[in-house]
Amino acid sequence: MAMLRPAAMDLFLSATSIVSNANEWFEFLGTAFSAASLLLSRWRRRRQGDEAERRQLQWKGEDAKMKQLHYCMLQLPDLIHHAEWLSFVKDDKEVAKLLPELKARVHDAYDLLEEFNHHHHHQQQLQLDLGQDAAAEKAGDDFLQSIASGNTVREILDDLNCLRNTLEGVIDRHARSEPHQIGKLLRPAMTSFYDKSKFRSLEDEVNELLELLGVKICSARPHKRRIKGETASASKRNRRNSGVGSCSNQEIASDNVTVLAISGIGGVGKTTLARQVYNDERVKGYFDVRIWISVSDDFNVKRLTKEFIEFALANWMQSDNLCNLQQSLTESIVKFRFLLVLDDVWDDVYANQDNRWQNFLEPLKSAQQGSAILLTTRSQRVADLVNENRHFRLEGLPPTIFDEFFEACAFGSDRCGVNPELNPIGKRIIPQLKRCPLAAETLGRLLKPMLDREHWNQIAGSELWELKQEKYDILPVLRLSYLYLPSHLRNCFLFCSMYPKNHQFDKDTLVNSWIAAGLVESCKGGKLESDGYRYFEDLLHRSLLQKESSSPTDSKHVMHKLIHDMAQLVSERECFIVKGETDLTKIPQGVRHLSIIGSSSLSETNLRMVCKYKTLRSIVCHGVETYILTAVAKYWFEELTKIRMLGFLSCELNSLPENIGNLKLLRYLNISDCTFEELPRSFWRLQNLQIVDAQKCRVQQIPDDFNRLGNLQRFKLRGTIIKQPGTYEL
């Protein structure tokens, strides 16, 4: 036993030594691993820092390219404006071919700039939030790599520069420096000659105009074309003795001249009515002098003054000095009572705020009391400028007279032997023409050569904009109103053509839709909404939109059917309306704005075809079946990621798909007829969203994620504007 104790002790000591060495070893390993982990962590942080710095430099480099792209595009709206005029007025085939390519590339550039700004801004926010959203960070990185590796910006820049240089070369060959007077080049100057055989006198309208002009015939007096050698005092004395002075319009006696405008869309019969007034026997007897001047888009005070003198006074003026011309006119016109018709006055009468109208009118105020000026114009603003209290709005010929005129245009003067089956077809066509005589002449020209039922049915079943038209037919004439628009109004006007005919526009909704689609340009730091409302008023004043007469509050507006046809013709590559299954195969490849109207031929399967039109910015559905819309929406949201404006009118979804979060650029969402009770989580990550109309939705809980919608301006829910998270009871 005694001998075993030392052995056991040695074994114990050996074991203790081993354990001690093992502890030291484990301690060493722990220290080593800790040091390695620290080094690895530092290396990772350095690498992440290097990666972040590299990514930041890459964003900075692409940002410089985007600025270059932005600067390249600044002059393109004016080039497009001029090219549109040239392709239409001069019928230049080369420009007509290049113009759609330029527009498409400009749209591509805008899309790229907007998508870049979205991701770049989001990446900057992630840096401040220390990268909390990994999915968003990855999406930004993927986008950055796609444009960097694919050289997308350089390709668009090269295409834009090539197209711009080519178009500018063509335009220079057409003497770009010459002033182009759009109206005069397309619309021939109209004279005062009136062909009484075309249609019956507009007796009621003529009488109303004469009354507004203050023409009240109290006693007959001989018509005096020109008075020579009679002093002003003698002239006035003779008129007082004849009793004519008592018929003057006392309301405007201070200026002696009554001014009145006939306003309405192109081709509606304004010039025809003015001719009937001008050639009325009562007018010939009442005025000493009648003058007719075709103005068009050249309201040049010097030219008009000179024409007045030459026409009325048979005095050929050698001087081109406006002061001398006006002095001569003032001295001469004091002897006469005149009627001046200014036909086809455009908006340049008030352009540049240079008081052209007042400068022209001033010397005429010295004329005899009872003198009058009658204008015809498409512009409501011109009508208000010359007389804000009174003007005459012409909506078309009286129904009976129009029907007679249409029959004469379609059948000719001899109706014997005409197939009676054509009468009901003609009655189907007439309402579409909105009592517009030029539209009747256009359709009459197309119908008259073939008086058979098949041909007439084909015309009746076609949209007016689909029919071939001559230079002076209704749509080319109406297109003048489009060509005369400034570039910032053109796209807003054409956007309206994506809605069906007779659609009632709400002013606020339309303006917000324009903003969402990227069509409103902020002017000198102003708010987009204010600029949008100004655009709306401009289109209203130009008769391209008009108040809906049946609206009790005047809050609804419509587009005249013929104006809508013209807009569809101009925008056929960018705006499209789907009315049935066959239309889905006709959608233009580069379409930007699409309306879908409910039809029995539409289904989830065929509506999936819309997914291939990746350039779409706007989709508006009207009355599409709920089960179809709910099923197809998830496919749209997966593929059409450039959508800015989405509207479901008179239709609803059962629910909003979760993948609506893919629509990163969505700004405007109208789900006002939907009644679902919750919104998907991804909805609250749509950071570009500005306007949401969820009027009938039964959503009660607005989550804290509401605060992430940093650009949200208005969220309408059951009559309440939502401004913060919380519970909103039904």
**Residue 723: φ, ψ to 5°:** -120, -10
CA dist list (Å): 220 to 215, 216, 285: 12, 11, 7
CA dihedral 453, 454, 456, 460 (to 10 degrees): 120
pLDDT confidence bin for 526, thresholds 50/70/90: low
**DSSP-H helix ranges across 259-373:** 270-278, 281-286, 301-313, 322-333, 356-361
Q: So what's the pLDDT on residue 163?
A: 93
Average pLDDT over residues 258-286: 94
Q: So what's the pLDDT on residue 52?
A: 64
Q: Which CATH architecture has domain 203-393?
A: 3-Layer(aba) Sandwich (3.40)
Which span out of 40-44, 513-517, 606-610 was modeled with the highest average pLDDT?
A: 606-610
Strand, helix or coil at 533?
helix
**DSSP-H helix ranges across 129-269:** 134-150, 152-173, 182-186, 203-212, 232-242
Q: For the purposes of burial, counting CB atoms within 10 Å of the CB of 447, is it exposed (0-12), middle (13-18) or buried (19 or more)?
A: buried
Average pLDDT over residues 173-184: 59
Given a cut of 80, whether residue 617 has pLDDT beyond it is: yes
Average pLDDT over residues 10-27: 59
pLDDT confidence bin for 662, thresholds 50/70/90: very high
Strand, helix or coil at 721?
strand
**Residue 636: φ, ψ to 5°:** -60, -45
Given a cut of 90, whether residue 429 has pLDDT beyond it is: yes
Given a cut of 70, whether residue 394 has pLDDT beyond it is: yes
Q: So what's the pLDDT on residue 554?
A: 66
Given a cut of 70, whether residue 6 has pLDDT beyond it is: no
**196-232 pLDDT, tens per residue?**
777 788 999 999 999 999 887 544 444 433 333 333 3
Distance CA 641, CA 663 (A): 5
485-727: CATH number: 3.80.10.10
77, two tokens: 């709206």
Given a cut of 50, whether residue 298 has pLDDT beyond it is: yes
Q: So what's the pLDDT on residue 166?
A: 92
Cβ of 118: how many Cβ atoms within 10 Å?
Answer: 17
Which residues have C-beta within 8 Å of that of residue 196, sequence separation ≥ 6?
A: none
Lowest mean pLDDT across 27-41, 80-94, 286-300, 705-719: 27-41
Placement of tokens 């005025």 in the chain: 287
pLDDT over 70, % of the chain: 81
Q: So what's the pLDDT on residue 61?
A: 79
- Cβ 393 vs Cβ 208: under 8 Å: no
Q: DSSP readout, 14-58?
A: HHHHHHHHHHHHHHHHHHHHHHHHHHHHHHHHHHHHHHHHHHHHH
**238-251 pLDDT, tens per residue?**
333 333 333 333 33
Q: So what's the pLDDT on residue 51?
A: 63
pLDDT confidence bin for 254, thresholds 50/70/90: very low
Report domain extents, the chain: 26-180, 203-393, 399-478, 485-727
Q: DSSP readout, 614-670?
A: TT--EEEEES--HHHHHHHHHHHHHH-TT--EEEEES---SS--GGGGG-TT--EEE
39, two tokens: 């080094």
Q: So what's the pLDDT on residue 26?
A: 61
Distance CA 481, CA 461 (A): 26
Lowest mean pLDDT across 94-103, 167-176, 431-440, 493-502: 167-176
Q: So what's the pLDDT on residue 705?
A: 87
